[in-house]
Structure 1
Amino acid sequence: MQIRRLNTLRAIAALIVLVGHYSNRAQLWDAVLGTRAPQLGVMLFFLLSAFLMSVLYIDRVPDAHAMRRYGLARAGRVLPLFVAVVLLSWALGKVGIPWLAASVYDIPDWKAIASHLAFVYGAQVLWTIPAEIHFYLVFALLWWLRPRLPWAIPLFCTAVLALYASGHWPVGPKQPWMGFPIDLPVLRGLPYFVAGMAIGMLYLRWQAPARWRHHGFVAALGLILLLYPAIFQRLTGWSYGMGGGESPMWFLPPLLLAMSAIFFVLVFLVPDGNPVLEHRVGDYLGNISYSMYLLHFPVLLAMGQFGLAKGVGGLLLFLGITVLASSLSYRFFERPMRMRIRAKDAPAT
């Protein structure tokens, strides 16, 4: 099933993260596009991921072959580039070149490598990949249970969202164990994954009547900008609460409701062929969005080392370098590795 607008939404999520991190680093316009705003892009990523998995898999029979195809597709999508980035970050941090060591993810030793590759920790923006992997496993279990316990998915979704809405959602462990860094970020993102899964299941069962649809609903994209912490505070005088090591944004049910509602409007109420959501640029950036997400942070760190992260010109340079690096990564590594892993499902000849 092809839902073309998801490509552009994926690209927008990546750009929210990229521009937000640059804004924080360069203090562009007093960091109005940063100040934890990149987390909105990650929230959109989580909604998209769970929605797409539900649409693609939930109505299929979860037999051994289907589960194998699912596992290979998910592994091919995420693992090769993540593992390469983790190992390269460690290796380049050891070469003795100060600016280079300061331009990679903070993975100082074998214990940090082990925690990353065991998907129990992620440095800087890498925390989202263990969260994604954990949800893949949760989804696989729920999918497998569905024909055996038809109420498993509704009960799970209801329990997660009810506990989250109650204000007692767990933060998860933060202290290292025997020197191994530990963080279970799936707890941070699980309500968003569940919301995306619920919207995906609804998409398979119901479509909005044609009279409800209108291209004007694409303006819902602008509502994401209004949710940016710095903008939201200036407009309303209210703060998301930025203190502490764990961002309160992940524990605000109204924010989950708002992001889910925006996603629902864009998927259900905007007609097919909308020129804002369906175009070649969105398709292309959506395809390379995973590389953009993983590679942008080292690019930004390197630019900071050379004093290039300044002003709008620096932002354009940052986006250009990131898109170029991501294009090369996608063409020569990410996509070939994905296809190679998926090919393991092909029948022997």
Structure 2
Amino acid sequence: MTTEILQQRRSLHFPLIDLLRGFAAISVVIYHIIEHFSWKAFPAEGILSWFRIGWMGVDLFFVISGLVIGLAAFSGIDKSGPQGFRMDFIRRRIARIVPLHYLTMLVFVAFIMPELIFQGFWSNLLAHLFFLHNLFPAFHGAINGSNWSLGTEMQFYALMVVVSPWLYVTRIWKVLFAFLMVAWAWRLGTVWLVQPDAMGPFKIFLVSTQLPGMLDEFAIGIVMAKLFRSDLGHRIFDYCQKLPVALCVCAIAAAVFYLMLSIYWKHASFWDIPVMVVLFRTFIAVSFGLIIFAACVITPGVQIKRLLWPLTYLGEISFGIYLWHLPVLLSLKRLNWLSFEQVVVLALVLTITLASVSWHFFERPLMQKYARSSKKVSVQEPVPQVEKAAV
């Protein structure tokens, strides 16, 4: 086994995960361009049709979050015990998520929609400051709309503070079973109790995407985290890193992903089909879980890493891409003479620029400042590399 693979096992840092983060972020950006600019002529077939359902990038973020946050929590328990890990875990989550969330909220209110100040502002603001905005129809996405998922994400972190010691010692199948049952029961209740109204299926979307309804997606990542730390997982991991096996893993992941997309396109109305609402997100999560597993078992060489650097860099700044892109799009909508193609170019350039600046001069310095002041930072869990936002 090479020294590089041994080091990867010790750090449990998988470089290609950043590539998936970048893909997820760009998928959401282009999806919102299609929706906000009513780009009806955007391809509905072929590879580009993926971006018509780029909202699935959020689901990919949630599965990655289950993996990364699971590894972080379990590592903290290794070092500090089932009680002592909590404060350090909370501080790290706050340092990673809160500063940029607050900054982009400020920019959004000040420069994009200042009229929000005169529309029940304080209740709206408090809900967003405490990551409760996703719970209320009036506040869901009201300030920088794409950050609705941060509410679900931060509530998942709060849950992990409580249940990580149980996850740490519980068998994988029990964890998976418990989380699946909660998610399916929640979404089944949504189908039974929530009816579409004048806003269409928005309420069903709002309720079904609360934390209990998304636990199956987080669960797939947590299960991988537990597997990678187990002796059985180590053996599977080593076996899958052999080139022929790795290629088979990639082929299986691609086949399941294609099947998932095929089923979705046949039932794309989605919200008026109960079985899709209740069960299909689990299939999305499994599909993305296989892709993430394939990305984890592939260990690119130095030259490949250099070639992939522009793509993995997008993953490094993906949290910023996610939070900055909507203010950019709403600003560009004022230039109604732009062509769709010009919007795509300008939106990507401006969003990536803002995300890059905020990462290098705002987010990372704050994370590094925290890392220097924390007595519990481990060299096996470098903050800028491992603790990326998965929202």
Please give the range of the TM-score, normalised by the shorter of the 2 chains: 0.7 to 0.9
Q: TM-score, normalised by structure 2?
A: 0.70
CA deviation map 1:91-140 (0-9, x unaligned): 345657xxxx8xxx998611111111221224121111111111112122
C-alpha distance in 2 between matches for 1:154 and 1:40: 26
Check if 1:129 corresponds to 2:142: no
Equivalents in 1 of 2:174, 2:331: separation in Å? 47
2:222 to 194, 197, 203: 197
TM-score by length of 1: 0.78
Superposed counterparts of 1:146-161, under 5 Å: 150-151=169-170, 155-161=174-180
Name the structure 2 match of 1:47: 63
Gaps of 5+ in 2: 1-10, 135-140, 196-202, 377-391
Pair 1:81-2:97 in alignment: no
Alpha carbons of structure 1 residues 28 and 94: separation in structure 2 relative to 1, 3 Å = closer
- Is the contact between residue 179 and residue 219 of structure 2 (CA under 8 Å) also seen in structure 1? yes
Residue 260 of structure 1, CA deviation: 2.3
Within-5 A mapping of 1:82-97: 82-92=101-111, 95=114
Deviation string, structure 1 residues 148-170 (Cα, Å, up to 9, x no partner): xx338753431221354578544
Amino acid across the alignment from 1:189 = M
Q: Which runs of 5+ in 1 are unaligned?
A: 176-180
Cα deviation, 1:315-348, whole Å, max 9, x if unaligned, reads: 122111111111111122222222334444249x
Query: Deviation digits for residues 216-248 of structure 1, max 9, x if unmatched?
Result: 75567866984796xx47xx861132446x995
The change in CA–CA distance for 1:136 and 1:262 in structure 2 (over 3 A counts) is same
Task: Specify the alignment match of 1:178 in structure 2.
Answer: none
2:341 maps to a residue whose letter is: V
Tell me which of 317, 324, 327 is aligned to 1:295: 324
- What is the rounded CA distance, in whole Å, between the counterparts of 2:343 and 2:112 in structure 1? 25
Query: Is the helix fraction higher in 1 or 2?
Result: 2
Q: Find out whether 1:30 has 2:46 as its counterpart.
A: no
Whether the 8 Å CA contact 2:183–2:215 is kept in 1: the answer is no
- Deviation of 1:286 after TM superposition, in Å, equals 1.4
SS where residue 24 of structure 2 aligns? helix
Could you tell me whether the CA contact under 8 Å between 2:253 and 2:287 is conserved in 1? Answer: no
Q: Report the counterpart of residue 187 of structure 1 in structure 2.
A: 212
Match 1:238 to one of 245, 263, 266: 266
Pick from 350, 361, 364 the counterpart of residue 335 of structure 1.
364
217-226 or 156-165, larger mean C-alpha shift: 217-226
From 6, 15, 26, give the equivalent of 2:26: 15
Q: Percent identity?
A: 19
**Which digits, 9 at most, give the CA deviation of each residue in 1:253-288, with x for residues without a partner?**
3333322233223323x3443948982113321111
Helix, strand or coil at the partner of 1:279 = helix
Residues 300 and 309, structure 1, Cα contact 8 Å, conserved in 2: no
Bigger drift between 270-279 and 248-257 goes to 270-279
User: Larger deviation: 274-283 or 336-345?
Assistant: 274-283
Q: May I ask how many residue pairs the two structures share in their alignment?
A: 327
Cα distance, 1:339–1:309 mapped onto 2, change above 3 Å: farther
**Are 2:213 and 1:213 aligned?**
no
1:208 shift after superposition: 4.4
Farther-moved stretch of structure 1 (282-291 vs 80-89): 80-89
Are residue 58 (structure 1) and residue 74 (structure 2) matched? yes
SS state of the match for residue 353, structure 2?
A: helix
2:353 aligned residue:
324
SS at match of 1:307: coil
What one-letter code is carried by the residue in structure 1 that aligns with 2:94?
A
Contact 2:188-2:278 within 8 A present in 1 as well = no
Higher mean C-alpha deviation, range 112-121 or range 49-58: 49-58
Amino acid at match of 2:311: G
Residues 241 and 73 of structure 1: CA distance in aligned 2, closer, same or farther (over 3 Å): same
Equivalent position amino acid for 1:137 in 2: A
- Residue 123 of structure 2 corresponds to 111
In the alignment, which of 144, 164, 172 is matched to residue 165 of structure 2? 144
Classify the secondary structure of the residue corresponding to 1:133. Answer: helix
Distance 2:343 2:277 in 1: 28
Tell me the distance in 1 between the aligned counterparts of 2:226 and 2:146: 29
| CA pair 161-327 structure 1, distance change in 2 beyond 3 A | same
- 8 Å contact kept, 1:50–1:193: yes
Residue 353 of structure 2 aligns to which amino acid in structure 1? L
